[in-house]
Structures are given as C-alpha cells and as structure tokens.
Amino acid sequence: MVSTLSPDDRTQVLHELPAEVTQQLMDLLPSDDLAEARTLLGYPEESVGRLMTPDYVAVQPAWTVERAFAHVRDVGIDSETINRVYVITADGVLVDDLQLRKLILAEPEQTVQDVMDGSFVSASAFADREEAVRLIKRYDVTALPLLDSEGVLVGIVTVDDLLDVAEQEATEDFHRVGSVEPIRGSLQDASTWRLYRSRIGWLLVLVFINIFSGEGIAYFEDTIMAVVALVFFLPLLIDSAGNAGSQAATLMVRALATGDVKMKDWFSLVGKELGVAVMLGATMALAVSVLGWYRGGVDVAVVVAMTMVCVVIVGSLVGMSLPFLLNRFNLDPATASAPLVTSIADISGVLIYFSLATWYLGV
C-alpha cells in the first residue's frame, strides 16, 4: 500500500472533486486503490454506493464457527465494523447478517449455517442516500449491507457516514426553504460571487411573481383613491397570509423529508389544516378589527376582519399543498420556500382584500 490516506479519506476526497480531476487522479493511484475508487465512482452522485466501504467481514454458510472466527481475526483489522459479519454464498450473494456475539457464543464445531436466522436488512447500492438513512434508523443497525441487482454484497455503509449525510440533506432543505440554492461546503469559504449566484435566481423569480400583486392593486385604483385608509392594512393582511402559509409549508416540507407524512396523507391533512386555519384566522381577525375600527371606522373594520379570515385560510391551504404538488411532479418539496409561499399568498391577499372592500363599501 503506497497511499498514506485511509480508505475513508480517499473516498471523501474523491466525492468532492469534479469528474475530470478524479479521472486524472485515478491514473496516479496504485492499482489496488484504483479498483476501490473505480467501484465507488460507478454509482450515481446521491446514491448510497458513493458512501460505501468494501472493508467488511464476510463468511460462508458451510464454514465452521471456528473457521469463521479465524477469518474475522485475519481480515477484521481492516474492517470498518466487526459488530456484524455478513454471510454470503460462493457467488457472493448475501444470505444473512450475524452479530459477532453470536459467533463468539456458538460452539466452535457448529457451522455458520447452524447459527443463521436468515433475516437481514439490506439496500441497493444504487438506492438514494436518504433511503439508507431511513433504513438504518428504522432497524437501529450501525451498518447496512449494500447489494447489486443480483443480490451480491458489494459493500457496507456505516451509520457515522450517514450521520454526515443526514446533516447535509437537512442543510440543503434549510437553504431551499429559505429560497437559497443549496450551498455545499462551508458558508465561511463561499465567495461573494458564489453567494450572489445562489440567491439572485429566486429573488428575481419572486420579483416577477410580486408584479402580479402590483397589477392587482392597479386594477383596484378607484377603490384605493376612494378609501385610502385601506392601504394602511395592506402589509398587515398580505403578510399574515404569507406567514400562515410559511408555517404550513415548513411543517409539511419537514414532515415529508423525515417520512413522517406520505403523499397519500394530503387529503386527510387538508381537512385538519382547514380547521386550524379557521381558528387562526378568527383569532387574528379579532386582534386587527379593533385597530380597523380606530383607523377607518366600523365598515373598514368589518372588511379587514373578513379579509383576515379569508387570507389566512387561503395562505395556509396554499402553503400546505404546495410541497405535495411539487413532490407529485418529482421536484424537491423544500422548493415550496417561505418566500415563494409568501409571494403567492400576497397575490391572493391583494385580490381578496380589494374585492371584499369594493363589494362591501360599494365604491
């Protein structure tokens, strides 16, 4: 072994490099490192295969416990975890995983077959990294064996590597919810230009969405000229719609990401959200109607209160449904960012507010 990097370090380094560079690097690697790098790089970017290590202990069913244990001693020194030993056929197909303690406690002359229970958790090496996080959590294991399409054991992924993945994925979702294109790596090291690019796209999209709010206001110019006091409540009402919507979107985005909520739950959740939104809208209408009375008289107070109930309901339903809709079209639900939901809620807020005002005040 010529390289001074540990297998972990090497894998890490390879993940962070562009394709041209990895190719050049691979040409320089000694042949046994090369084999490992090639195998790892054959898997798609977000797949768990990219995180796997080939350093595990595998034994065969026909072996005696004594032979299996000797094998553990021989190769265990390089393996990531020896809590579990994997049982494979001569063709490499995974047939069981054994806790090492089972081998330790078995009689030396028993065969591996005798102590097998035939139940194991595994994942495809092509599976999404998030899927592997879910499996490892559900089954409370510290490592997950990874198989190719033929069921052959190709490597394992350990929980400590997945801990990093879970944190990275959460950070990406955080950034998306804040309508920032995910910034990989440290914020400290990101250049001004990199930060600009990650933020300008969404800001411009939101500017153009907000133009519709302006157009809505332009349409109701006569109403505004007649009762200018209505403008006082505009930021309050459209922000409330946006805030209720952001809350609903945030709850759904995270629940979808952690697997707490599934696509099929939308219908039952929409009923609950309606109930919550009506209660929220009524409480907030009560709070602002006093101010409405003081600023613009009883008629304005009624319009503001009615609008508040309506916009909180519309905002909440938009906010909770948008993540599902995006997921349906195979987009990341976290794209339903607070700013996007706010901007959509604003447009409906402007239309609802001035429509109600025009109708109720008869201007």
For a copy of itself, what does the binding mask look like between residues 35 and 74, x meaning CB under 8 A? Answer: -------------------------------------xx-
- Cβ-based nearer residue to a copy of itself, 47 or 316: 316
- Cβ-based nearer residue to a copy of itself, 44 or 178: 178
- Under the binding rule (CB under 8 A), the answer on residue 121 touching a copy of itself is no
Phi, psi of 201 (to 5 degrees): -55, -55
- Cβ-based nearer residue to a copy of itself, 8 or 299: 8
Tell me the residue length of the chain.
Answer: 363
Write out the binding residues for a copy of itself, residues 125-144 only, by CB under 8 A: 133, 136-137, 140-142
Edge-to-edge order in the sheet of strand 84-88: 58-59, 84-88, 94-99
Determine if residue 357 is left, alpha or beta; phi over 0 gives left, psi from -120 to 50 gives alpha, anything else beta. Answer: alpha
Find the binder of a copy of itself among 48, 302, 338, 352 (CB under 8 A): 338
- Under the binding rule (CB under 8 A), the answer on residue 254 touching a copy of itself is yes
Find the binder of a copy of itself among 49, 305, 346, 348 (CB under 8 A): 346
- Under the binding rule (CB under 8 A), the answer on residue 25 touching a copy of itself is no
Find the binder of a copy of itself among 31, 149, 188, 330 (CB under 8 A): 188
- Under the binding rule (CB under 8 A), the answer on residue 228 touching a copy of itself is yes
Find the binder of a copy of itself among 43, 86, 233, 353 (CB under 8 A): 233
Q: Are 158 and 143 in contact (CB under 8 A)?
A: yes
- CA dist 249 and 255 (Å) reads 10
- Cβ 327 to a copy of itself shortest distance, Å: 15
- Under the binding rule (CB under 8 A), the answer on residue 258 touching a copy of itself is yes
Find the binder of a copy of itself among 18, 118, 275, 362 (CB under 8 A): 275
Find the binder of a copy of itself among 37, 301, 350, 351 (CB under 8 A): 350
Find the binder of a copy of itself among 47, 53, 247, 321 (CB under 8 A): 247
Q: Are 277 and 312 in contact (CB under 8 A)?
A: yes
> Closest Cα partner for 307 from 235, 252, 248, 256?
235
* Contacts with 48 (C-beta within 8 Å, 6 or more apart), sequence order: 123, 124, 125, 126, 127, 128, 129, 131, 132, 144, 146, 157
Q: How many residues bind a copy of itself (CB under 8 A)?
A: 105
User: Which stretches does DSSP call E strand in the chain?
Assistant: 58-59, 84-88, 94-99, 123-124, 143-147, 153-158
- Under the binding rule (CB under 8 A), the answer on residue 355 touching a copy of itself is no
Record the tokens describing residue 136, joined without a space. Answer: 């490892």
In degrees, rounded to 5, the angle at the alpha carbon of residue 100 between the alpha carbons of residues 96 and 101 is 120
- Cβ 127 to a copy of itself shortest distance, Å: 17
Q: Which residue has the tokens 């009762």?
A: 227
- Under the binding rule (CB under 8 A), the answer on residue 294 touching a copy of itself is no
- Cβ 231 to a copy of itself shortest distance, Å: 6
- Cβ-based nearer residue to a copy of itself, 35 or 279: 279
* Neighbour count for residue 138 (Cβ, 10 Å): 10
Q: Are 22 and 30 in contact (CB under 8 A)?
A: no
- Under the binding rule (CB under 8 A), the answer on residue 81 touching a copy of itself is yes
- Cβ 21 to a copy of itself shortest distance, Å: 24
Find the binder of a copy of itself among 234, 270, 361, 363 (CB under 8 A): 234
Stretch that binds a copy of itself, among 37-45, 46-54, 148-156, 241-249 (CB under 8 A): 241-249
Torsion sign (Cα): 21, 23, 28, 32:
positive
Q: Are 264 and 328 in contact (CB under 8 A)?
A: no
- Under the binding rule (CB under 8 A), the answer on residue 232 touching a copy of itself is yes
